[in-house]
């Protein structure tokens, strides 16, 4: 009997791996509800003051539609660019020894620490017509500052660290024996990367893409200084929401916010499903 009691005690401990699981789960749900669920639900409730016809006409007005296309389209493009160059940067930092590597590694985190307003002013200054980079681009017909291209630059700037910091530790933890075995079997470098390395880092790339996209969609401070903020041309949706709030059009601002919330949710959900499938494929 004591032996059975001891086994039962071990079995119960095995089931409750996390001490205080019920309390910690309840605290987690309460905290997430307080910080995330209640504020987001208040946006939906506030926009419900509109009738369906008024709501639809508000969120599909030409100015709003132009801001959606610009914001989500450029955010997707910026996240894609960051996936390419972020993976290259992570590869260099994880696989090579180079002079000043610590400095380069620290520079990757600079968009995290830099205030967004400072980043926007800096980018607008550098890419303006008389800036360090803009003066060389404008003679070739490439105008960056105060155009949609400037928005792409700002979104790419603030999103790069998300991809690098997501992919870099995965690359560092990959087993080199797999690549050596593939090389011994006659695989070239491209085959080793595409068939051995890439399936292992694909979930991390998708995670970095989702994080970079989410940050770019909601970015405001660094964009308003370089975008030009012209309605129908270079006006992002967060700026349009701020404009409506300044006009005391709170239902209109929350209606636009629900559109951003819905589109972002479905895009992130699709990326998470792809991430889950890629993990299953890699395993």
CA 279, CA 153: separation in Å to the nearest integer? Answer: 31
Is 30 part of any domain? yes
pTM, entire model: 0.83
Q: Provide the domain count of the chain.
A: 2
**CB-side exposure of 148: number of CA atoms within 13 Å?**
19
Select from 166, 241, 157 the least CA-distant residue to 202: 166
CA 163, CA 172: separation in Å to the nearest integer? Answer: 14
Is 13 part of any domain? no
The reply to whether 130 and 246 lie within a common domain is: yes
The reply to whether 24 and 96 lie within a common domain is: no
The reply to whether 83 and 108 lie within a common domain is: yes
Dihedral through CA 50, CA 60, CA 243, CA 49, nearest 10?
Answer: 10
Is 121 part of any domain? yes
The reply to whether 144 and 43 lie within a common domain is: no
The reply to whether 213 and 133 lie within a common domain is: yes
The reply to whether 37 and 105 lie within a common domain is: no
The reply to whether 41 and 68 lie within a common domain is: no
The reply to whether 188 and 271 lie within a common domain is: yes
Look-up of token digits 């003679």: 139
For 147-171, the pLDDT digits (tens) are 999 999 999 999 999 999 999 999 9
Helical (H) or strand (E) element with 163: helix 148-173
The reply to whether 25 and 156 lie within a common domain is: no
For 241-274, the pLDDT digits (tens) are 999 999 988 888 899 999 988 888 888 888 878 7
pLDDT-flagged residues of the chain (< 70) = 1-21, 278-279, 281-283
The reply to whether 139 and 28 lie within a common domain is: no
CATH number at 185 reads 1.10.3720.10
Is 243 part of any domain? yes
The reply to whether 277 and 249 lie within a common domain is: yes
Number of helices (H), then strands (E), belonging to the chain: the values are 16, 0
Look-up of token digits 């992130």: 268
Is 134 part of any domain? yes
Select from 161, 164, 180 the least CA-distant residue to 172: 164
Is 81 part of any domain? yes
Is 3 part of any domain? no
The reply to whether 188 and 235 lie within a common domain is: yes
Q: What is the three-class DSSP state of 115?
A: coil
Torsion sign across C-alpha atoms 61, 67, 73, 79: negative
| Backbone φ, ψ for residue 71 (5° rounding) | -65, -55
Instruction: Quote the pLDDT of residue 143.
Output: 92
Is 7 part of any domain? no
Q: Which domain holds residue 38?
A: 19-48
């Amino acid at each position: 009997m004591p032996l059975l009691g001891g086994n039962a005690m071990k079995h119960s401990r095995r089931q409750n791996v996390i001490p205080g699981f019920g309390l910690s789960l309840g605290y987690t749900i309460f905290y997430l509800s307080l910080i995330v669920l209640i504020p987001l639900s208040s946006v939906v409730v506030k926009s419900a003051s509109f009738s369906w016809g008024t709501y639809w006409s508000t969120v599909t007005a030409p100015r709003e539609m132009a801001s959606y296309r610009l914001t989500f389209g450029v955010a997707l493009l910026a996240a894609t660019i960051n996936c390419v160059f972020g993976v290259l940067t992570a590869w260099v930092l994880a696989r090579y020894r180079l002079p000043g590597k610590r400095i380069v590694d620290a520079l990757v985190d600079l968009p995290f620490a830099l205030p967004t307003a400072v980043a926007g002013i800096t980018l607008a200054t550098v890419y303006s017509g008389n800036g360090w980079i803009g003066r060389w681009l404008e003679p070739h017909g490439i105008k960056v500052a105060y155009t949609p291209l400037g928005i792409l630059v700002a979104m790419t700037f603030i999103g790069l660290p998300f991809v690098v910091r997501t992919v870099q530790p995965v690359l560092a933890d990959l087993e080199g024996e797999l690549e050596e075995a593939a090389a011994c079997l006659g695989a070239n470098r491209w085959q080793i990367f595409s068939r051995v390395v890439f399936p292992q880092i694909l979930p991390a790339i998708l995670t970095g893409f989702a994080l970079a996209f989410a940050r770019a969609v909601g970015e405001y401070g660094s964009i308003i200084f370089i975008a030009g903020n012209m309605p129908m041309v270079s006006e992002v949706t967060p700026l349009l929401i701020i404009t409506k709030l300044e006009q005391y059009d709170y239902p209109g601002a929350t209606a636009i916010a629900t559109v951003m919330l819905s589109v972002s949710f479905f895009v992130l959900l699709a990326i998470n499903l792809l991430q889950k499938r890629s993990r299953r494929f890699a395993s």
